[in-house]
Structure 1
Amino acid sequence: MTQRVGDGARALGDLSDDLVNRPGVLPGKAHGWFRTWFGKVWQVRGGGLYALGYALTFVYLEVTTVLGDLAAAESVGQFFTSEIVEFVFRFLSDSIINLVKSLIWPIHFLQMSPPWGAIGLGLAFVIFPMLLKKPIERWLFGQDTAE
């Protein structure tokens, strides 16, 4: 636990340093951060279509939440000065809601267009292991891990 906290604090310090001194390196590092996060989600959620759906749903919901909050702000300066604390707490609560919504992503998929949602989800569960699982595992973990 202490190691994880130390690693997190070190990563936050590196992020702050890069943000201030070398903002151009952030896009390159973001790929590695996403890959690390997605690899953890992949392993925790079972490494299949459910894990992929969870990750994509969570990222989509988080991005739309942040963009919605930024669009609702009257100005960028006001957003960063007066509303930053409110934004953080609202973002945390929205993140918890997004986490729950991401866990039940198949239900949202089924409700999109009955009965086509059910048919599409069934086909995805059959086709995903044959076509996408191995390339995703190679991207996440390298050649040796994908079976």
Structure 2
Amino acid sequence: MKMRMLQDNARGCLEKTFLELEKACLEQEEALLRFEAQKKDLKKQLEESEAHNKVIKKQLEESIAQNEVLAQREMQLQQRNNSIMLEKEKADEKVLLISEEHKREKKELSRTIIELEKQLDVRRTLELEIELLSGALLLIIKNE
């Protein structure tokens, strides 16, 4: 009977251990299934992130390309603007030179006009004198 009790006790312990082992196996399988599901979800998220990153990378590359084009255009416009400003400066210098030349010519013409007016005054004075002398001469001739 003692043997039977030991056997029953040993059987009970074995059954308990077997049940615990079976329970641990089930928990491990459930954990493994959860892990696989989580792994699958993470893999899906990773793929979505990689796809999103590709889209963003493409957008960034396009933006960089557009910025480069804009930078080139801006540089061309700046060069054109500098060229135009240089041409304007040259034109301003020419206008200034022409203006100074015009002033000199105007002064010279004013001097010439004054000189010609003086000559005209002298000529009129001489013509008047000639007329007076001619009139006096005619009077002298008539009186003789």
Aligning the two structures, in what range does the TM-score lie when normalised by the shorter sequence? Answer: under 0.3
TM-score between the two structures when normalised by the length of structure 2: 0.20
Q: Report which of the two has the higher share of helix.
A: 2
